[in-house]
Amino acid sequence: MKSEIEKVLTMVKEGKVDAEKGSELIQVLKEKEEGTSVRPSNFTSNRPPSYIDKTLKIQVVSAERDNVNVNLPIKLVKVVLAAGHSIASKIPQSEQYVKDINIDLIFDAIENELDGQIVDVKSANGDTVSVMIE
């Protein structure tokens, strides 16, 4: 985890993220470590997982079998979306693509606990893209 925190600090130093976002990223990293190291493997809770403990899952399956699976904790998604949008809007090559993205709408969806299948795309050549929150 130390190297991950160093990467975040470097991003702050280079101006890629502001100090507040860097602090949030470090907090998420610490919570993640505490959650995996403190909780025994046989731990079971009677309470349902809170929304912020859920995972954004992205699955891309191509007809050529070039498959991609990405699983991101919702806690991390919020921080990375804000940082990524901020960084992309400052880069001339990407600015045109992110200027019309309403990041607040995405945060509202997260705050209102959007759940289940979000995107389900099937192309004519057999490629599929699925995005869900579980």
Closest to 89 in 3D by CA, of 76, 99, 79: 99
Per residue in 16-26, pLDDT tens? Answer: 877 777 777 87
pTM: 0.47
Domain ranges within the chain, ordered by starting residue: 1-41, 49-134
Is residue 113 within 8 A of residue 77, CB to CB? The reply is no
pLDDT value for 49? 58
Inform me whether the pLDDT recorded for 84 exceeds 70.
Answer: yes
User: For residue 41, what pLDDT is reported?
Assistant: 41
Q: Is 25 exposed, middle or buried (0-12, 13-18, 19+ CB in 10 A)?
A: buried
Mean pLDDT of 55-63: 85
pLDDT interval class at 38 (50, 70, 90): very low
